[in-house]
Structure 1
Amino acid sequence: MVGASRAQGGGGVGDPRAAGGEAGAVRAAGLDEAITVAAPIVADVRERGDEALLEWTERLDGPRPGGFRVPAERIAAAAVEDDVLEAMRRMIAAVRVFSEVQRPRDTSVEAVPGIVSERRWVAIDAVGICVPSGRAPLPSSLVMTAVPAQAAGVRRLAVMTPRPVDAILVVARELGIDEVYAIGGAQGVAALAFGTASIEPVDKIVGPGNAYVTAAKLLVSSHVGIDHPAGPSEVVVIADAGADPALCAADLLAQAEHGPDSEALLLTDDPVLSAAVTTLVDGYDNITVDLVSSLEEALARSEAYAPEHLELLVADPEALLAGVRNAGTVFVGTSAVVGDYAAGATHVLPTGGLARASGGLGLESFLKPLQVVRAGTVGVVAAQQVVGPLARVEGLPLHAAALDARLAGSAA
C-alpha cells in the first residue's frame, strides 16, 4: 500500500478517492508483491513443518531458543499497570456483552409436506488468532477476536504473535487462553493452517497483520477459513460547517498514526472548515482534506470508497446514516477511537473497499450453519415429483432411482 498525499479540493480523475474502481486498485497495490514473497514461505512450512517454521521465524523475527510455545509460567508472570488491567477488563466485558446478543436463531420449517429442514448454528472447533506485535503490540486485537470466539463456543483458540509482550499475555490469561505461540508472519499462518509436529492445525484463521500475514491468509484460504483480508487503517470523516475543526483533525490524526500507509480523508462542504483542518494536519502525507459541493456528494464518495471507519460529524447525522451501505463501522457524532477500544463493537473491520460486501468480525464469524433434513414416506413421495423431472433434465437418472428404491422398499 502507498500513503495518500494530502491535497485540498482533490477528487479528480487521478485521485483514488474519486471512484470506487480506481480506489480499489490503488488500495490493493502491494498485495500482489506480498503474495509473491509469502507463497514460498507458506509452501516451505507446509512441506517441512517445524524445521521450516523455525528457520523462517529466526530469519525474520530473531532466535527462538525456548521453542515456539510461550510457557504457562511466562503467561502467569505477565503484568501490566493497574489502570491498563482495569481497562482491559472493561473492554473484555463490553465486547462479551455485545457479542452474546448477536447469536443467530436456529430455524426449522416444513417447506414441503413430510420434509422438515433445519438450520442449526454450531461453533467452529478450532480457531487461530493473529495478534500484531512487531512495530507495536495490539492486545486489543486479541480481545476483539478471542471474546466473540469464546461467546460462540469455539473449543480451542491458538494465538500467534511474533513478540509476546506482557500486555498480550495478560489478555490471554484474563481470557483463559494458554496456547500462545511466539511466531508470526506468513510462516505462522502456514503453521496454523497446515499444522506441524508441535502445532495442531486450526479450522479458521482470523485477526489483523501486515501485508505478508494477509497474503498468507489468502494463500491458505482454500484449506482453512479466514476472515476478511486486513489492510491499513482507514477513516472517512464527513463534516459540515457546524463541526469543530480541532476534533475533525484529531480524529484524522488518530487513524493516520497507525502507519504511513493508513488513509484518513475529510469530506466537507464548508470551505472554512476545510481550510482550518488543512492547516491543523499539515505535514501528514496520509491525510487528505477535500472540499465537496454537498453532503450528498460526500456520501456518494464515501459509498464508493467503502471505508473501514466512517464518521458523520454533521447537524443531521441520522439523515446521512439512512443512506450508508458501505462502511465497516459508522460513528454517529463521535470518534472512531471510541470503537477502537471502548464500544464493545469490533474493530476488526473490512478495509481496502471490502466493506462493499462484508462487515466486521462478530459472533457469526465463529459459527457455521449446519443443515438437517428429515423425510418420511410422505416426504419422499412429495420429493419424487420434483426429483424425477429435474433429474431427467439434468441427466442424473440415478438420483430418481434412489427415491424409487426407497418407495419400493416402503411398499414391500
Structure 2
Amino acid sequence: MKTASANIRAYAKLQLPVAKSVTVSPGLKLGQIVRPLDTVAAYIPAGRYPLPSTLLMTVIPAQVAGVPNICITTPRVVPEIFGAAALLKVPNVFQIGGAQAIAAFAYGTKTIPRADRIVGPGNIYVAAAKKLLAGEVGIDFIAGPTEILMIAEEGNPAWIAADMLAQAEHDTDASAVLLTTSKLLALAVQSEIEKQLTTVPTAKTARVAIDKNSAIILMESVDQAIEVANRFAPEHLSIPSASWLKQIRHAGSVFIGPHSPEAAGDYASGPNHVLPTSGAARLRGGLSAADYVKVISTQELSASALKKLIPAVTTLARAEGLEAHARSVEVRSAK
C-alpha cells in the first residue's frame, strides 16, 4: 500500500495546475491562482469487492491539492478500507452507503458536512444519485460498468486472456474486447480464456461478463482497429506500442506495451483508476488532482491599459445594450 501511495501521490502532483501570470501588453497583467475546494467526499465501494485502492485513488489527489476537509464514506466496516484511511490519516470516515450517502453529502446533515464535490464509483443507485444531484453538488462523473479494449497484432495469448478476465471479474456487466488483425491470435486468446476460467475463483462473475458483454473481433488493419477504439472511447485502452499514441483521441487511460497490464493501473502504477466509462472518455480523462481545485482568473490593469481598452469595451457593451457597462469604463477616463 505504501508503494502504491507513493506512485499515486507523485502522479497527482504532476496533474495539478499552477499559478501563473503574463503581461500581455504594457499595464495589462493577466493570471490565474489555484485554490483547493473546502470539502470533498469520496465514496468507497464495499460490496462484492471492497476497494481500499479506490480510497487511495480518491483521497491522495485531494491531499496533494490541499483540500482541508476530506471525508470518505463506505457502506460497511471493512478492515482494509479503514486501515487505508488510517494510513492516510483521514479523520472523517462515515459508514453510510448507497444513494442516501450521496444525498447526505450533497445537502449536509447535523453530523455530515456538505461537500463541494463527491467523487468515486459506486453501484447503480450511487450513480443515479450522483446524476440527479449534479448541480446541487459537484461530482467527478457518472461511472458505469467497467470496460477494457485491447488492440493487438500479436502477443502472448495467455497474457491477453488474463487481462480480459481481470476486467470481466469485476461485474457481470463488465466488458472486455480484443481487436486483432490475427485470426490465429484470436483463436488462441479464446482458448486461453476458456482455460483460465476453469481455475479463476471469480469465474462465475467473469463467465457472464465474457459471454454477455465481451468479444474478440477481427479487424482488417490496425488503422481500422484504432478508429473503432476511438469511437468506443474505452475506459481502459491497451496498445502494444507508444508509437500508436498519436492516433489515440479518446480513452480514459492508456496502457502501453505487454508489461503494462490494466491491473497495475488499478492498484499501484500511479495514474488514477477512477475513470470515465460508457463513452464518457470522449469528454474527459480520469479523476485528477485538478478535480479538487479551482483555477481562478486574475486581471490587473493600469490607467493607461484601461484607456486603450475603452473603445473595445464600449463598442461591445453598447452592441449588447448594456450602457452602464460602457459608462463604468468611460467614467474612469473622464476629465
Q: Tell me whether 1:303 sits opposite 2:230 in the alignment.
A: yes
- Tell me, in whole angstroms, the C-alpha distance in 2 between the residues paired with 1:102 and 1:356: 19
Q: Tell me, what secondary structure is at the counterpart of 2:47?
A: coil
Question: Which structure has greater strand proportion?
Answer: 2
Superposed, 1:253-272 pairs within 5 Å as 253-272=165-184
Higher deviation after alignment, 398-407 or 268-277: 398-407
Q: Tell me whether 1:346 sits opposite 2:272 in the alignment.
A: yes
**Cα deviations across residues 63-107 of structure 1 (Å, max 9, x unaligned)?**
xxxxxxxxxxxxxxxxxxxxxxxxx11111111111123222322
Higher deviation after alignment, 280-289 or 122-131: 280-289
Contact 2:178 2:216 in 1 (8 A): yes
Contact 1:123 1:153 in 2 (8 A): yes
Contact 1:114 1:382 in 2 (8 A): no
Contact 1:235 1:263 in 2 (8 A): yes
Q: Tell me whether 1:276 sits opposite 2:188 in the alignment.
A: yes
Higher deviation after alignment, 265-274 or 284-293: 284-293
- Tell me, in whole angstroms, the C-alpha distance in 2 between the residues paired with 1:392 and 1:321: 48
Q: Tell me, what secondary structure is at the counterpart of 1:154?
A: coil
Gapped regions of structure 2 (runs ≥ 5): 195-206
Q: Which among 221, 226, 238 is matched to residue 134 of structure 2? A: 221
Alignment-derived partner of residue 101 in structure 1 = 14
**Cα deviations across residues 274-311 of structure 1 (Å, max 9, x unaligned)?**
11112232453133111111111111111110111111
Alignment-derived partner of residue 315 in structure 2 = 389
Contact 2:5 2:268 in 1 (8 A): no
- Tell me, in whole angstroms, the C-alpha distance in 2 between the residues paired with 1:199 and 1:293: 55
- Could you state the TM-score of these two structures normalised by the residue count of structure 2? 0.91
Q: Tell me, what secondary structure is at the counterpart of 2:217?
A: strand
Alignment-derived partner of residue 147 in structure 1 = 60
Alignment-derived partner of residue 365 in structure 1 = 291
Instruction: Read off the aligned partner of 1:233 and give its amino acid letter.
Output: T
Alignment-derived partner of residue 291 in structure 1 = 218
Alignment-derived partner of residue 11 in structure 1 = none
Q: Tell me whether 1:247 sits opposite 2:171 in the alignment.
A: no
Superposed, 1:13-412 pairs within 5 Å as 88-241=1-154, 243-282=155-194, 283=207, 284-285=210-211, 286-313=213-240, 317-333=241-257, 334-408=260-334, 411=335
- Tell me, in whole angstroms, the C-alpha distance in 2 between the residues paired with 1:350 and 1:135: 21
Instruction: Read off the aligned partner of 2:244 and give its amino acid letter.
Output: L
- Tell me, in whole angstroms, the C-alpha distance in 2 between the residues paired with 1:95 and 1:211: 27
- Could you state the TM-score of these two structures normalised by the residue count of structure 1? 0.75
**Deviation of residue 112 (structure 1)?**
4.5
What CA RMSD, in Å, does the superposition of the two structures yield over aligned residues? 1.4
Q: Tell me, what secondary structure is at the counterpart of 1:231?
A: coil
Contact 1:112 1:382 in 2 (8 A): no
- Tell me, in whole angstroms, the C-alpha distance in 2 between the residues paired with 1:322 and 1:394: 43
**Deviation of residue 375 (structure 1)?**
2.1
Runs of 4+ in 1 over 6 A off after TM superposition: none
Q: Tell me, what secondary structure is at the counterpart of 1:406?
A: coil
Question: Percent identity at matched positions?
Answer: 42
Number of equivalenced pairs = 318
**Cα deviations across residues 120-172 of structure 1 (Å, max 9, x unaligned)?**
11111111111001222100001001001100101111111111311111111
**Deviation of residue 319 (structure 1)?**
2.9
Alignment-derived partner of residue 203 in structure 2 = none
Instruction: Read off the aligned partner of 2:218 and give its amino acid letter.
Output: L
Gapped regions of structure 1 (runs ≥ 5): 1-87
Instruction: Read off the aligned partner of 2:122 and give its amino acid letter.
Output: G
- Tell me, in whole angstroms, the C-alpha distance in 1 between the residues paired with 2:189 and 2:14: 39
- Tell me, in whole angstroms, the C-alpha distance in 2 between the residues paired with 1:320 and 1:376: 49
Q: Tell me, what secondary structure is at the counterpart of 1:330?
A: strand
Instruction: Read off the aligned partner of 1:329 and give its amino acid letter.
Output: S
Instruction: Read off the aligned partner of 2:253 and give its amino acid letter.
Output: T
